[in-house]
Structure 1
Amino acid sequence: MKFAYFVLPHIGGTYTVFKQLRKGLAMHGIDVHWLGFGKSNPLVNPEWQSEAAFGTMVEAPEAADEQAQARLVAAAVRNGGFDGIFVNVLTDRVQMNIARYLPANIMRIMIVHNITPGTYAAAVAIKDHVHATIGVSERCRGDLVEKYKFDKERTFVIPNAIDIEPFIGKKRGSRDETGLRMLSLGRIEDASKGVFWLPGIMDKSPASVRLTIAGNGPDLEQLKRKLSHHKERVTFLGAVQPDRIPQLLLDHDVLVMPSRFEGYPMTLIEAMAAGCVPIVSHIQGVTDTIVIDKNSGFLFPVGDHTEAARIISKLNADPAKLASASSAAREAAEQAFTFEGMASQYHHVIERVTTTRPHISAPLDLDDWSFPRGLRSGLRTYVPRPVKNWLRVMRERYRYTPFGSFS
């Protein structure tokens, strides 16, 4: 069988999932190719040219409207000989919507990568046109089934996973006796990643603790300004290529992740595989299914940068506790988050759909191309960002049950 995975090569979790899924499903005789779409081609950049062998880029002319773009995507699926597609919610709305228009013989599997209302609204918009839906966390699947009435027999939870091989047997960098080496890794954006809480964490952490910030994003310059009074303790690396991430994690003691929301963070799993102890927001059904609190990492209530700093201070003063958590994190990652296990679960879903071929809505006519409500801008677009951020914190705090104090 041959599947298209709708994504463009980029630094980020969605493409990392593709790479692991491609390797894993190949072991089951399933060929997975990325199928990218847009008006700019990432393959012109030298760092992505090697990925050309694993996918196809569909370039849209500048003058092409979205209906014309949809025809190009549909033709690429048809001409590529694909038996099925993986639709990633909200990576590209044309590629999402095309699921409603493809021929009936094309298997459609939707992957929901996040837990926001906007993500769920987009998933609802095409749910009647997909054979199966995969949520990347227990929270994801639970919300889809309980709140959005997805068929529980066709909705699955398959956590993301990584290739453990680059981390196995690798020695961690020697601990700096003067203080913790802390790392923030990923997209620098406050709405989801909570990066503007990093200055508060640094304000309340011991002066010996240093922070490395690796990544790029729309809030980078503002974050630099907010951390300017800690410039002697903070290093900005910019975007980091995937092949450098394992060593970067091995060279740091803890990963700090103050996110407001996550789907199933790959960075967290990679950190654990490197023995870089995670200190992360407690997002129920997501981070608490990855980290065993006070064992393989530490959880703090979303937005509580004081508690995050308290954990950092305790670990800074307790090398034995840090070493114990590092070992537990590596062991958990090596046992639970392998790409082979993830691919086996995807293979099970594909086999189930192949056997049962559940009923879905009839394909729509491309001549009548339109976007359903969930793929159009809604009222949430006009809610001010500070209000959205406050609501996100309250939502998680309401769900959050304290685990007790650090011990």
Structure 2
Amino acid sequence: MTRIALVVYGMLGGGIETFLLNLGAYLKCCQYDVTIVTTNCLGNWFERIAQMGLEEIYVPGLNSVEPLEHVSRVSKVLYDGEFDIVFSNHALFAQIGIGTGKANPVVIPIVHGTDEYCARIGTYNAGLCDHIVAVSPAVKKTVERINKHYKCDVILHGIPKANVDIAIERDFFLSTIKLMYVGRISNSDKGVFLLPPIVKTLIDDGLKVTLDVVGDGSDKGQLKELFQNNGTEKFVKYWGMLSSEQVRALMHSAHILLFPSYMEGLGIAPIEAQLCGCIPVASRLTGATDCTIQDKKTGFLVDHGEVKQFSQAIKQLYFDRPLLMRMSQQAKDYAEIHFSIERMGDQYHKLIQMALENKSENKLVSERNDPQKGLEKFTDKKVILWGTGAGCEWLCKMIPFEAFYFVDNNPLKWQCYFRGRPICSPQTLLQEHADKIMIIIASHSYMEEISMQLSQMGFNEDEHFTNIFKILEPELLLRYDLNFRT
């Protein structure tokens, strides 16, 4: 029996973990031996692995050993002969250990996000892998921007059919429309602070609505304050973390799912909602939500951050109940055809078979990430760091050279000093001779945006600017990730 490891940072509870449980259950039905392995922590959802009938392994001891020693522990579990296929899901300890074990399993990274920092985590040492999976065209675009030579396949998520026996069917002609949000309560990526003004706009316009908020996160307290401050808290109910079955039950009674994200790899919640007949009103994210929602047929796609557009879409459904009913059925039919667990699982099954048949026995050591190659670029060059946050402060203590000055997009910081050096406008870089400087992007949150900004200014990546993945040795990269990954 083929042995498969699905590897993840921890079963923290969210889209990646839902995907792993669904994929693991399907592959088990296909007679694979499936184990979910967590490399950093257990997570709140760890017990769900056994509940799904899957095997579980947690690699303990991260806080008691040096990072590279923990890499060795993870590698011993994954790469010493226990598994034939390893699917790594943004698990940096697993990525760094690729090619270091006694055996040679097939390793396939699955990249879930368009954020460049996380995508680089997901593709670290991917040169040693025969395949990479991206969960959407948008993610594939990010992966190929990192390295155009990577072979990357897109496999969209699939969802098991809802168990209608536990669901409460919705009433389309209730005077009150039930809204719902499902996901991590975080504003920087999920846009949850848009929820209070959306609800406020609807209430002020005379609509009767309620909002169920499912999930948890660092911005939950501030979200509650925003609802309290605009006087709409009585229309909101917080459910915290729920099981998949409980989420499905709520989706079967809700009319509309709000999905105001600023960034998504793909987004499982809109797929789940449509499968339950709950209509998504979502941010239009090219290569992500426009791949899962048919605009004005199975849901509505609006410009992200636009409260007015979210509100108008909801009003259209509120005042046209036959449209609400029709789109609900269309959403359900669409999701059942295009996002079934069988469709996704079959693609992974074929990938596994192909990967085993075409397995590369001798992976080239030269394909490993080598930060020392990046350091060669700093000989006789003026080093400039872009970023002035906590991550940059930490980085300055680790790199063997001093920054000549710092750059930041925040004009309030210009003319100020950071670690005794001036903070300058990005325009200052245009006064430099490009071939005599090396710019290090020291902001992981805006790595992609800064890279694009530098390219538009005429600088070339690897020639004139670089990032932490290309200069930090594995141990330091692990320490950075443990401290600053959000």
TM-score interval (norm. to shorter): 0.7 to 0.9
Residue pair 1:87, 1:109 contacting (<8 A) in 2 also: yes
Q: What residue is the counterpart of 1:403 in the other structure? A: none
Q: Does the C-alpha gap of structure 1 residues 285 and 61 become closer, same or farther in structure 2, counting only changes over 3 Å?
A: closer
SS at match of 2:163: coil
Deviation per CA, 1:226-281: give whole Å up to 9, x if none. 11120121111222122211101011100000000111211111100110100000
Q: What residue is the counterpart of 1:149 in the other structure? A: 147
Query: Which amino acid in 2 is paired with 1:353?
Result: A
Q: What residue is the counterpart of 2:252 in the other structure? A: 250
Q: What residue is the counterpart of 1:173 in the other structure? A: 170
Q: Does the C-alpha gap of structure 1 residues 378 and 26 become closer, same or farther in structure 2, counting only changes over 3 Å?
A: farther
- Hey, what's the Cα distance between the residues in 2 that align with 1:123 and 1:36? 15
Alignment of 1:8-407 (within 5 A): 8-38=10-40, 40-42=41-43, 50=51, 53-60=54-61, 62-78=63-79, 81-89=82-90, 92-103=91-102, 105-145=104-144, 147-151=145-149, 154-167=151-164, 172-175=169-172, 177-206=174-203, 207-228=207-228, 229-358=231-360, 360-362=363-365, 379=387, 381=391
- Hey, what's the Cα distance between the residues in 2 that align with 1:134 and 1:257? 24
Q: What residue is the counterpart of 2:395 in the other structure? A: none
Question: Cα distance, 1:31 vs. partner?
Answer: 2.1
SS at match of 1:99: coil
- Hey, what's the Cα distance between the residues in 2 that align with 1:73 and 1:186? 29
Query: Which amino acid in 2 is paired with 1:119?
Result: C
Deviation per CA, 1:69-103: give whole Å up to 9, x if none. 112112222567211210112xx322232225345
Q: Does the C-alpha gap of structure 1 residues 99 and 52 become closer, same or farther in structure 2, counting only changes over 3 Å?
A: farther
Tell me the percent identity. 22
Question: Cα distance, 1:148 vs. partner?
Answer: 2.7
Question: Higher relative CO (CA 8 A, sep ≥ 6), structure 1 or 2?
Answer: 1
SS at match of 2:297: coil
Which structure has the larger Rg over C-alpha atoms?
2
SS at match of 2:149: coil
- Hey, what's the Cα distance between the residues in 1 that align with 2:69 and 2:185? 34
Question: Cα distance, 1:127 vs. partner?
Answer: 1.8
- Hey, what's the Cα distance between the residues in 1 that align with 2:169 and 2:125? 45
5+ residue gaps, structure 2, are: 375-384, 393-407, 411-442, 453-486
Q: Does the C-alpha gap of structure 1 residues 178 and 235 become closer, same or farther in structure 2, counting only changes over 3 Å?
A: same
Deviation per CA, 1:112-133: give whole Å up to 9, x if none. 0011121233244322122210
Q: Does the C-alpha gap of structure 1 residues 300 and 86 become closer, same or farther in structure 2, counting only changes over 3 Å?
A: same
Question: Cα distance, 1:286 vs. partner?
Answer: 0.7
- Hey, what's the Cα distance between the residues in 1 that align with 2:65 and 2:47? 27
Question: Cα distance, 1:44 vs. partner?
Answer: 10
> What CA RMSD, in Å, does the superposition of the two structures yield over aligned residues?
3.3
SS at match of 2:39: strand
- Hey, what's the Cα distance between the residues in 1 that align with 2:288 and 2:43? 31
Scaled by the length of structure 2, the TM-score of the pair is 0.71
Residue pair 2:89, 2:110 contacting (<8 A) in 1 also: yes
- Hey, what's the Cα distance between the residues in 1 that align with 2:268 and 2:386? 29
- Between stretches 188-197 and 93-102, larger displacement belongs to 93-102
SS at match of 1:156: strand
- Hey, what's the Cα distance between the residues in 2 that align with 1:169 and 1:46? 22
Question: Cα distance, 1:186 vs. partner?
Answer: 1.0
Q: Does the C-alpha gap of structure 1 residues 86 and 378 become closer, same or farther in structure 2, counting only changes over 3 Å?
A: farther
Deviation per CA, 1:342-385: give whole Å up to 9, x if none. 111112222222233357433999xx999999xxx995956799
- Hey, what's the Cα distance between the residues in 2 that align with 1:309 and 1:125? 41
Question: Cα distance, 1:43 vs. partner?
Answer: 8.0
5+ residue gaps, structure 1, are: 396-407
SS at match of 2:64: coil
Query: Which amino acid in 2 is paired with 1:212?
Result: D
Q: Does the C-alpha gap of structure 1 residues 80 and 11 become closer, same or farther in structure 2, counting only changes over 3 Å?
A: farther
- Hey, what's the Cα distance between the residues in 2 that align with 1:46 and 1:169? 22
- Hey, what's the Cα distance between the residues in 1 that align with 2:372 and 2:238? 40
SS at match of 1:232: helix
Deviation per CA, 1:309-331: give whole Å up to 9, x if none. 11111111111111111000100
- Hey, what's the Cα distance between the residues in 2 that align with 1:243 and 1:289? 25
